[in-house]
Amino acid sequence: MAITAEFLKQVYLFESLPAADLEWLIVVAKSRTLLAGETLFTAGAAADALFVIQQGTVEIYSKGQQEARAVAMLGSGAILGEMAFASPKPRSASAEAKENTQLLEISYTALEKHAQSDPRFGMTIYRALARQLSQRINQTTHDLATLKEIKLRAD
């Protein structure tokens, strides 16, 4: 599947980038295919790239002490592994293709080098990450408040 600037513009991390940066991404991104049931990465593994789903579905799951629990189901246009780019730590969850899936793989090293050589690019990427993190924190806060309310009603 060809990588296009139009597709990249639909991805939150890249939507504000100018055409030259989108063209750079097209050059550095690697296409990757996962078959249904294939693991993309596992919790605890070192993180060195982010992934964009072009086509297909990937389940993010976390293993508890007894069983795996689905955290999210992601489809076309979703990004996986972008948070470890901002905060380099091992993967916090695992990812598995639920159907045959086409991905773009973009190495952290390439992103970091480009951000260092072009601070405007770096600022745009980090600003998009900050917006996404803020949205996730707001959603988590809302979810926790709802769960607390449900627990209080049950008691």
| Domain extent listing, the chain | 5-154
Task: Output the pTM of the full model.
Answer: 0.86
R_g (Cα) of the chain, nearest Å: 17
Which position has the higher pLDDT, 84 or 60?
Answer: 60
Q: How far apart are CA 96 and CA 23, in angstroms?
A: 29
68-91 pLDDT per residue, tens = 788 899 999 999 988 788 888 889
Non-local (6+) Cβ contacts of 82 within 8 A are: 13, 50, 129, 132
Q: Give, rounded to a whole angstrom, the gap between the first and last alpha carbons of the chain.
A: 53
Find the farthest-apart pair of alpha carbons in the chain and give their distance in angstroms, rounded.
Answer: 58
Q: Which fold has domain 5-154?
A: Jelly Rolls (2.60.120)
